[in-house]
């Protein structure tokens, strides 16, 4: 939250991350790297809970862009190298040319930039 970032120095930040079941995920590994020994005080596998906890001022959270609206009460912290992930769209070959399926796949490709 803006208030958290204005009142807590970066060296004292506390982090909000995934629970232990996600410790091997790229986003959790990056969060641990960014935390650099600072505490991860809140852990949850639910993005909405992570975001709500950050809005309440419990710490810094790493969320995907799609999980945060501009009016969410959260402030982006720019990093030198943003985390990116591959997205795969898999469609069974028997239905890939069905018009309704094609419309959805084309819309997803367009929205995701490919």
Cα 13 from Cα 80, distance rounded (Å): 18
- At residue 80, the 3 state secondary structure works out as coil
Cα 54 from Cα 2, distance rounded (Å): 10
- Run of H or E including 106: helix 99-111
Pair 76, 39: CB distance under 8 Å: no
Pair 61, 51: CB distance under 8 Å: yes
pTM reported for the whole predicted model: 0.72
Q: Which residues contact 1 (CB under 8 A, 6 or more apart)?
A: 54, 55, 56, 57, 73, 74, 75
Per-residue pLDDT of the chain (114 residues; tens, 9 = 90+): 989 999 999 999 999 999 989 989 988 999 999 999 999 999 999 989 999 999 999 999 988 877 777 667 888 887 777 777 777 889 999 999 999 999 999 998 888 775
């Amino acid at each position: 939250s803006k208030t958290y970032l204005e009142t807590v120095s970066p060296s004292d930040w506390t982090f909000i991350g995934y629970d232990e079941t996600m410790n091997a995920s790229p986003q959790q590994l990056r969060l641990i790297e960014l935390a650099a020994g600072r505490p991860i005080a809140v852990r949850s596998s639910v993005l909405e809970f992570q975001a709500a906890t950050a809005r309440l001022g419990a710490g810094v959270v790493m969320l995907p862009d799609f999980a945060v609206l501009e009016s969410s009460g959260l402030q982006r912290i720019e990093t030198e190298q943003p985390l990116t992930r591959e997205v795969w769209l898999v469609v069974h070959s028997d239905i890939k040319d069905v018009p309704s399926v094609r419309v959805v796949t084309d819309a997803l490709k367009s929205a995701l930039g490919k």
